[in-house]
Chains A and B, each alone.
Chain A
Amino acid sequence: MSLPDYLLLMVGMGAVTYLPRFIPLALLSRRQLPRWLADWLDLVPAAILSSIIAPILFATEKTRTLDLGRKELLVAVPTLLFALKTRSLAGTVVVGMALYWLAGMIMG
């Protein structure tokens, strides 16, 4: 990718990252969202994170096929339990990485 293309990409990514952060702050300092929208948005974070993680754990990316025996899924179980138990972001990342490394050495 050329530098102008890369710059364009960065400005585009920056804009679509920044605007959803800024617009509600700027608009909603004194206003309230309609109830249904607030309720819907309240469910969006859980839905988005689940939508991102699930295919990584349950499917092979290259072939787009279902696979329930991946080490990504195997490692995710203790990682999820650790996260639920400790609620530590740093700890979960370190534990997840260590288990994945270990799984790689055992399973290849």
Chain B
Amino acid sequence: MAVLREGFGAAWPICMGFIPIGLSFGVLAQKAGLGPLQVLLMSTLVFAGGSQFIAVAMLGSGASLPAIVMTTFVVNLRHFLMGSALAVHLPRVNRWFLSLFAYGLTDESFAVNMARFRGEGWDRWRALTVNQITNATWIGSTVAGVYVGNLIPAGAFGIDYALTAMFICLFTFQLRERIHVLTAVVAALLSVTLFLVLPGNFYVIGASCGAATIGLLVKRLTKGRHHVPA
């Protein structure tokens, strides 16, 4: 019970964020012609807020299946890094636990669990509880949004901006050092340029890989003056 209680204690701020976003997602999905079953399927099988919004937008604009899957892959590739960082805190843990844990790995659960793992009294079961509570909250709110969506007129309450606001906030969490700010600025310039000159969604992966590479080079060049590589 202590595991559940402490897991919930850490998870509730994430749930606070997921409920309005999940409801907004349900509303947008419903407006795009998706039913509660389809939303339930997507939230259960995919469980990735940003990609789900993008997928609904792409479905609305008639994008092809490979294009949507590819974009989802690119948008969620960042979890590779988060999984790598979390692996340090889950040494010698068996595969079935990791496979269950990976299902609930999001930007938010990652941020909360990494912060908690650095302190005392946190273990993998509490971390898993955070992942699963936030997952259940997400599924519930997105499906609820489909029904609430019938009652809300288009554009009401600024719902169309929920995703952008969420990304803006997650974006600020990433600006930890100057190199991250520089990378973000380069990414923004590259992304807008690619968006204007190329069709499709290549701009996300193109600008991200380009900016991270430029950022890495800048980091190497500036640090090389002070440190001899190990």
Q: Which residues of A contact B (CB under 8 A)?
A: 1, 5-14, 16-18, 20-30, 33, 35-36, 38-59, 64-66, 72, 75-76, 79-80, 83-84, 87-90, 92-102, 104
Contacts and interface: CB of A to CB of B under 8 A. Distances in A.
A67 B52 CA distance: 26
A90 B83 contact: no
Interface of B: 13-14, 16-17, 20-21, 24, 38, 41-42, 45-48, 50-51, 55, 59, 65, 68-70, 72-84, 86-88, 90-93, 95, 98-99, 101-103, 105, 107-108, 155-162, 164-175, 179-181, 183-192, 195-196, 199, 203-204, 207-209, 211-213, 215-216, 219-220, 229-230
Contact of B81 (A35, A41, A95): A41
15 contacts: A6-B38, A13-B42, A25-B86, A43-B211, A48-B78, A50-B185, A50-B188, A54-B191, A72-B161, A76-B168, A87-B173, A89-B14, A89-B169, A96-B165, A97-B165
Interface of A is mostly: helix
B219 A51 contact: no
Contacts, number: 290
Given A72-B164, A89-B13, A90-B16, A24 B183 contact: no
A33 B85 CA distance: 10
B165 A95 contact: yes
Nearest to A26: B98
A92 to B, nearest CB: 4
B51 A40 contact: no
A49 B81 CA distance: 14
- Which of B175, B186, B188 counts the most A-chain CB atoms under 10 A from its CB? B188
A26 to B, nearest CB: 6
Contact of A24 (B83, B158, B204): B83
Nearest to B173: A87
Nearest to B95: A26
Contact of B98 (A29, A45, A58): A29
B83 A10 contact: no
B160 A100 contact: yes
